[in-house]
Chain A
Amino acid sequence: MIAEIGQFALLLALIIAAAQVVVPMVGAARTDATLMAFGSRMAVAQAALLAAAFAALTYGFVVSDFSVSVVFQNSHSLKPMLYKVSGVWGNHEGSMLMWVLILAIFGAAVAVFGRNLPPTLKARVLSVQAMIGVAFLAFIVFTSNPFMRLDPAPFDGTGLNPLLQDPGLAFHPPLLYLGYVGFSMAFSFAVAALIEGRVDAAWGRWVRPWTLAAWVFLTGGIALGSWWAYYELGWGGWWFWDPVENASFMPWLFGTALLHSSIVVEKRDSLKSWTILLAILTFSMSLLGTFLVRSGVLTSVHAFASDPARGIFILIILLVTVGGALSLFAWRAPTIRGGGLFAPVSREGALVLNNLLLTLACATVLLGTLYPLILEAASGGASRVSVGPPYFNATFAPIMVPLVAAIAIGPLLAWKRGNLKAATVKLRIAGVAAGGAIVITFIAVPGGPILAPFAMGLAAWLAAGAMVEWGSRIKLFSAPVAESWRRLTGLPRAASGMTVAHLGLAIMIAGITGASAWRTELITTLAIGESAQAQNYSLTLQAVENGRGPNYNFERGTFLLTDRDGDTLLMYPERRFFPVAGQTTTEAAIKTTLLADLYAVIGESRSAQDAGQKWTVRFFINPMVPWLWLGAFVMVGGGLLSLSDRRHRVGAPRRKQRPVPGVSGAPAPAE
């Protein structure tokens, strides 16, 4: 019964979304306030209906209603409650439902919070947002119905893929979708602005917080996914340049560029056409990612339930939405006139460089991801290649070096016309820090790759540069303490947010460098009581015991790790066997210090006639890896700090003239 309610809510949402495409668009064309106001109400209703549908599906999972096909395929009565709930989005149908729910929530957010948007722009944004909604709701209803019933109902479910039964992965998809789908806002605003034929500072002020929020979610989601791959797959790696990973990384790169170019639109009324294009491209990367993950044209270690028939449907959606938006752009962009002019050396110039490099980086990743497909299609299937980490490392890293070097300089340049010389003088300290980091790394880690110390130097340059910029804003050391304090408290949170996010990037670069340059790997087999040596550590397999978890059996090793000073540490890696799925997962034991991760995995056992049982053992020393997650965390923190800026909460400055409206929602003035 509940599932039928969900089904009904889903269909109703589709109908409302279809109406939401037409009514506000017509209203905006006729400047009819009533019709435009209808758009807002429909956006809220659509979100409420999809929330009801999502709740109905969640209920099916929670009570293990196996008469619902998706629940049968992805759940099991013995599964812990957390994974029953996360099973809702651990499959194609449920995750698509979550996708459209988030899309509708963003639409409703514009309806509710967008009171001070120009009414026609708001109506058009809601209409465009509903167009995406209609496409994907139709996709769900016609190809991936999550409420399909089974008759007779099976006795028990087939279980969720054991790899996905992990707290990290339970929250990874929602975050990722909030990011992916969040970029739909920028897309809808871009298309609405093209229809409107007007892009102004107010537009930039609106797009920026939405983009920033999506970016924060996506950053968190990617970091969480990478962390999961690191500890769950048991390979000790954290990024594989896998097509599915790239699918989430490409919108991130474009989104980061968009984040920066929208500043120029907001503050300087310039770079408008480019920002519009970027907004369209960012969301098209999200859609492309959705296609790549679900169509089955590429193989991936993160295989999703893939189905070419669905792939064709998504391609049609892509063609209509993105193709339509790009055509609209080609037609209308010439009418958008740029405002402020600027010299090449200026804040704007630096942000253009940022955009060029990020776009180039994204193009590189896109090419690497799609090249095998393009070559295959071009050669009629005769030529097939795989593009792996060597390509990405060789092309991506060189683009990042000038980008990171420039990040320290850009914020020190003035708008319109900057003084490069003055900026360089200010950055002397950063230069010293970089030099120091290079020398220290070179001495501390003599044996590693020659480029590693320079990468550490780059990280130090960026960190010190960010601090210099922050210090110069508050006149640290150059003015009395009281004056600095006054400036600090008056500093916009967006400015501090930038400093924090750039510091996070510096921390992450240090982590990436350490993790890729100085990693130690040991693979061997050990019997109980045997030891192996890795760097300064001696690893002894003390015991292996068997036991039962809630829905799995495990084999747990006890490792005694002794370092050169005789300090000891116990580690307990596990191998879990899930009988329902017939699948085994590894649970790495990770001991982390701020400087390195010790990472142990116990593999399969085998018996030998004379030596008894032996276990395959993998042991990694991953230096600096914790900095990776720390860096991502700090970047997210920077984004949140910037998002909490008064400017975004208060909205457009013209609002300041009015009395502050009550938070509890006094009726909005007629829009």
Chain B
Amino acid sequence: MRRLLLILPVVLFVILIGVLAVLTLQTKEGRDPSLIPSALLDKPAPEIQLAAVSDDIPGGFAGADLRGRVTMVNVFASWCVPCLAEHPLITRLAEDGVPVYAINHRDSAPEASKWLKVNGNPFTAVGFDPEGRASVEWGVTGVPETYIINAEGIVTFKHAGPITAKVLKDTILPKLREAGE
């Protein structure tokens, strides 16, 4: 029994080294250690408060603004080409009456402001996040990314990457309906 107890540290240690070795080898072959699925799913949206991009863009919002009805949060940046691609669909969603909030991710204010003026601003409010602080709280892994938040302020769905017409029809709209129930 005592022997067994003495061997236990060795066994645990060797297992640990094995796990680390596998992951290190995978990292060598292109594993991205920063990739994390949304840790927020089925959890309350972060309470983080964001300032507005500039005075002529409606904005600044906090976690509390997302409660009371089904909302969406879209993470975008002016430097992000897929964001431009999905922008017309976001605009359509907003026109259909879904309040869409935006996190302006690692952007500069003049650029973001210009981008919204040129491409239209469908967002209920835009929060400025130049240092990616809110993105850390939200668990953003890349831009664009879109979250659905139900009336209780719980994150019910996350879509990474641009929204295409197919994604909109097959997942976003059903998920929005689900969140509303």
Contacts and interface: CB of A to CB of B under 8 A. Distances in A.
Contacts of A637: none
Given A297-B33, A299-B34, A386-B36, A376 B55 contact: no
A43 to B, nearest CB: 28
Contacts of A370: 16, 19
Interface in A302-330: 308-309, 311-312, 315, 318-319, 322-323, 326-327, 329-330
A376 B19 CA distance: 9
Given A606-B109, A608-B54, A308 B28 contact: yes
Interface stretch (A347-355, A459-467, A609-617): A609-617
Contacts of B55: 608-611, 614
Contacts of B60: 525
B39 A606 contact: no
B9 to A, nearest CB: 5
Interface in A402-429: none
Interface stretch (A197-205, A338-346, A377-385): A377-385
Contact of A311 (B10, B27, B54, B131): B27
A340 to B, nearest CB: 20
A296 interface: yes
Nearest to B18: A377
B24 A319 contact: no
Contact of A295 (B19, B24, B49, B52): B24
Contact of B23 (A281, A297, A610): A297
B6 A607 contact: no
A384 to B, nearest CB: 5
Contacts of A312: 21, 24-25, 28
B39 A386 contact: yes
Contacts of B10: 323, 326-327, 330
Contacts of B52: 525
Nearest to A297: B23
Contact of A315 (B21, B33, B39): B21
B14 A604 contact: no
Given A315-B20, A616-B51, A616-B128, A308 B56 contact: no
Contacts of B26: 381
A329 B6 contact: yes
B33 A235 contact: no
B180 interface: no
B22 A607 contact: no
Contacts of A611: 55
Interface string B150-180: 0000000000000000000000000000000
A457 to B, nearest CB: 28
Interface in B4-18: 6-7, 9-10, 13-14, 16-17
A297 B24 contact: yes
A599 to B, nearest CB: 15
A546 interface: no
Nearest to A383: B37
Interface string A233-245: 0010000000000
Question: Range of interface residues on chain A?
Answer: 35 or more
Contact of A329 (B9, B131, B139): B9
Given A386-B39, A610-B56, A319 B14 contact: yes
A373 B6 contact: no
B67 interface: no
A327 to B, nearest CB: 5
Interface residues of B, number: 45
B23 A377 contact: yes
A79 B23 CA distance: 38
Counting chain B CB atoms within 10 Å of each CB, which of A284, A291, A329, A386 scores highest? A386
Nearest to A234: B131
A524 interface: yes
B7 A296 contact: no
Given A296-B27, A311-B24, A377-B19, A606 B53 contact: yes
B31 A381 contact: yes
B25 A523 contact: no
B9 A524 contact: no
Given A318-B17, A323-B17, A334-B6, A607 B23 contact: no
A333 B2 CA distance: 10
Counting chain A CB atoms within 10 Å of each CB, which of B9, B34, B113, B133 scores highest? B9
A603 B130 contact: yes
B110 A297 contact: no
A98 to B, nearest CB: 24
Interface string A371-405: 01110110001001110100000000000000000
Nearest to B5: A330
B108 interface: yes
A291 B20 CA distance: 9
B50 interface: yes
A62 to B, nearest CB: 34
B118 interface: no
A600 B151 CA distance: 35
A281 B9 CA distance: 9
Given A308-B25, A334-B6, A523-B50, A607 B109 contact: yes
A614 B25 contact: no
A381 B33 CA distance: 11
8 contacts: A334-B6, A372-B36, A377-B19, A523-B50, A606-B113, A606-B128, A610-B56, A614-B55
Q: Which 6 A-B pairs have the closest CB atoms?
A: A606-B109, A608-B55, A308-B28, A330-B6, A608-B54, A311-B24
Given A603-B130, A605-B109, 20 more contacts: A281-B9, A297-B20, A298-B33, A308-B25, A308-B27, A311-B28, A318-B17, A322-B13, A329-B9, A330-B6, A385-B37, A604-B130, A606-B109, A606-B110, A606-B113, A607-B110, A608-B54, A609-B56, A610-B55, A616-B51
